[in-house]
Every structure is written in structure tokens, then in C-alpha cells.
Amino acid sequence: MKRMLSGIKPTGQLTLGNYIGAIKQFIEYQDEYEMLVFIADLHALTLPIDAKELRKNTKDLISVYLACGLNPEKVTLFKQSDVHEHAELGYIMACNSYMGELSRMTQYKDKTARISDHGSIPTGIFIYPTLMAADILLYDADYIPVGLDQKQHVELTRDLAIRFNNHYSETFIVPEPITPKTGAKISSLSNPEKKMSKSESEKGTLYLLEDLAITRKKIMSAVTDCDNEIKYDMEHKPGISNLLTILSSLTGKSIDELVQEYQGAGYGTFKKAVADVVCNELAELQRKVKEIQESNIIENILEEGAKKASYLARKKLSKVYRKIGLQ
Ligand code: AQP
């Protein structure tokens, strides 16, 4: 069975972008692949985060994974910081990478551009992709399901794996990214040119666990154009195209079908339809999250997951140590 791995960082409240671009894919693939899904809590430290908030986000993230249908009997679910080999191989990957290639990463450029002129840029943002490469290569993952924003990091991981294999002999599987056909990039509702992000504007971001009256309000006031025609055109009508993508991802209907269905309906009716579908899906999700958080199953699941992941990680890291002369 081929292996698949992915993770999300608990940097803030999870968004509909994380759900459509990542989590929904994990659920689809869990029967087909041997899956490892982790909480990328070390990655959450790349920008300053309060300890209490990190703990809460971590608990919410594992609850969302379970509420969405990730089955711990099939999927190894664990916390990155519980498996110390991630940080160790991360260091080796940093030594195996070049400053030039890391500074070309789009996410690094975007995130540093957002830090004010006076702010210092944390080193963690710079070496984020080398830790991510370690996350992937530790487990010999064949496929990495990601949204478009993370594809470049998987490509760098491939380069690092090939470089290491060439230098020290065959050690790592070279992974391939998988992006969803629809929903690989969900945009902000208030600025559809930009990605919907945990750390972006609250008005443009739909949070999975927020009050649904607020969710509905944000969708009804999503930025669109003024020609009132429901049509997919990312360049000229990014707002409506984004809403079509969201609706298509959640209903399973194709964009063409939806365009036909809402022809002549007007933006108000269309937005209401999107809001109904999103709110129904999130209401069910929120109900399950509450149930899981009241049930005390989380600790056991993470403990079991960490044991399984550590076993694999230890074996791989020891092979790496032998190759490079540390053992
Ligand atoms: N807007 C999005 N559309 C599609 N996929 C998305 N993902 C994130 N945003 C979108 C996918 O979610 C997974 C986990 O992402 P992450 O939290 O580890 O990192 P990120 O991509 O940096 O997510 P955010 O929400 O933008 O976090 P912050 O604001 O903290 O940087 C990945 O597979 C990602 O592609």
C-alpha cells in the first residue's frame, strides 16, 4: 500500500481553506493509502504564539480531524513534537539545503513581507521548508496532499531528497504532491486575490468553529463584481469564482453544473445558497467537535499515534545517521 502524509499547523482557528484544500482530501484517501496525519505544532512556532493559544488550537485541530471522519484505526494521528526525530532530521535537512533556494520560497517571501519594517524576521520562517522536508522524508511518504500554497515546499522536499540520495546513496523516497482538482486555493472573501488564511483578515476568512451567524454574514457580504452574472472566471470575477469553488467542493457538483443551476439567479440568491450549504456542513462539524471534546478520547489517540510514528521515524533517522557518519 502506498503511503501518504500530511499535516496542518495549529497557528490559529482552522479555516474553510484548510478544510477544503486539505482535510477533505485526507478523508477521501484514508481507505486507499496508509496515512499519517499530524498536528504540525513545531511549525506553529515559526511566528510568535501564546502557549495557551497553542494548546487550545492543538486540541481543536485533533478534534476537527476526528469530527471530519479521520479514523484513528486506519490513520496514524499524532503530534509532531511528540516525535523528536522531526526536529533532528530537520536540522540535517537544513544542512543539506542552500540559502538561495530557501529565500526563493513564495510563502517565505509573503510572510516576511507582512512583518513590519521594524520587525525582525524569525529564522523559523526561513527554515520552515527544511523541517517540512524532514516531516515527509522521515516516513517514506509517496504522496503529499496539499493546497496550492504548499506545493512549492513539496517540490523543494523532492530536490532535497534527490540531492541526499545522490550524495549518500538511495535513502529517501521522492514524494509527489497531490492537489485537489477543485478547491486547491480557496480565496479570502474580502480580498479574493489572496488566499484564505488562518492569519489573514477575519472578515475574509471563514473559521470552522465560529458562530454560524457570523459565517453567514461574511458570505453574504463577500466581495464580488457588479455585473450580477454567475460565471467562473478567476481573472475577471475572482469573488464569484471563489464562491463557485466553495459550493462545488462542498456539494460535489461540478462548476459547470452550478453555473447552469444558478443562471439568472442574481448574486443575493446565489450567496444565500452558498451560505446555506457552508452553514449546514459546519453545524454538523461543530456538533461532532463538541462531542469529541467532551469525551476524553483525544489523549489516548495521540499517544497511540506517537508510538506508531516514532517507530517508523526512529528506523529512518538511524539509517540517515549511518549514511552521514553519525553512527
Ligand atoms: N486557502 C486555502 N485553500 C486551499 N488549501 C489551503 N490550505 C491552507 N489554506 C488553504 C491547506 O491547508 C493545509 C494546512 O496548512 P497549514 O496550516 O499547515 O499552513 P498554511 O498553508 O500556511 O495555512 P494557513 O491557514 O495559511 O496558515 P497560516 O496563516 O498560519 O500561515 C495545507 O495543505 C494547505 O495547502
**What does the pLDDT profile of the chain (327 residues) look like in tens digits?**
999 999 999 999 999 999 998 899 899 999 999 999 999 999 999 988 999 999 999 999 999 999 999 999 999 999 999 999 999 999 999 999 999 999 999 999 988 888 866 678 899 999 999 999 999 999 999 999 988 889 999 999 999 999 999 999 999 999 999 988 887 899 999 999 999 998 877 889 999 999 999 999 999 999 999 888 999 999 999 999 999 999 999 999 999 999 999 999 999 999 999 999 999 999 999 999 999 999 989 999 999 999 999 999 999 999 999 999 998
In short, whether 15's Cβ falls inside 6 Å of ligand 1 is yes
Q: Please report the beta strands in 9-129, taking only residues with DSSP state E, as ranges in sequence order.
A: 34-39, 76-79
> What does the alpha-carbon distance between residue 122 and residue 125 come to, in Å, rounded to a whole number?
6
Nearest to 64 by CA among 28, 26, 29: 26
The predicted pLDDT at position 204 comes to 95
For the chain, the straight-line distance linking the first and the last C-alpha, in angstroms and rounded, comes to 31
In short, whether 196's Cβ falls inside 6 Å of ligand 1 is yes
Q: Whose CA is nearest to atom 34 of ligand 1?
A: 147
pTM assigned to the model? 0.92
Nearest to 241 by CA among 230, 249, 250, 251: 230
SS3 3: strand
Q: Please report the beta strands in the chain, taking only residues with DSSP state E, as ranges in sequence order.
A: 3-8, 34-39, 76-79, 143-145, 176-178
Fold of 202-290: Tyrosyl-Transfer RNA Synthetase (1.10.240)
In short, whether 201's Cβ falls inside 6 Å of ligand 1 is no
Residue 76 φ then ψ, to 5°: -80, 110
Only one residue has cell 446555506, namely 276
Q: Whose CA is nearest to atom 23 of ligand 1?
A: 197
| In the chain, domain spans | 3-178+296-324, 202-290
In short, whether 195's Cβ falls inside 6 Å of ligand 1 is yes
Tell me how far the alpha carbon of residue 153 lies from the centroid of ligand 1, in angstroms: 12
SS3 34: strand
Q: Which residues are catalytic?
A: 111, 195, 198
Tell me how far the alpha carbon of residue 297 lies from the centroid of ligand 1, in angstroms: 26
Which residues does residue 195 pair with via DSSP β-bridges, in sequence order?
187
For residue 288, what are the contacts with CB-CB under 8 A and spacing of at least 6? 66, 67
Tell me how far the alpha carbon of residue 293 lies from the centroid of ligand 1, in angstroms: 23
Residue 187 φ then ψ, to 5°: -95, 165
Virtual CA dihedral for 96, 35, 180, 41, nearest 10 degrees? -60
What residue type is 241 in one-letter code? S
Element (H, E) at 132: helix 123-137
Tell me how far the alpha carbon of residue 147 lies from the centroid of ligand 1, in angstroms: 7
For residue 43, what are the contacts with CB-CB under 8 A and spacing of at least 6? 7, 9, 11, 80, 128, 131, 132
Which residues does residue 34 pair with via DSSP β-bridges, in sequence order?
3
Domain 3-178+296-324, CATH homologous superfamily name and number: HUPs (3.40.50.620)
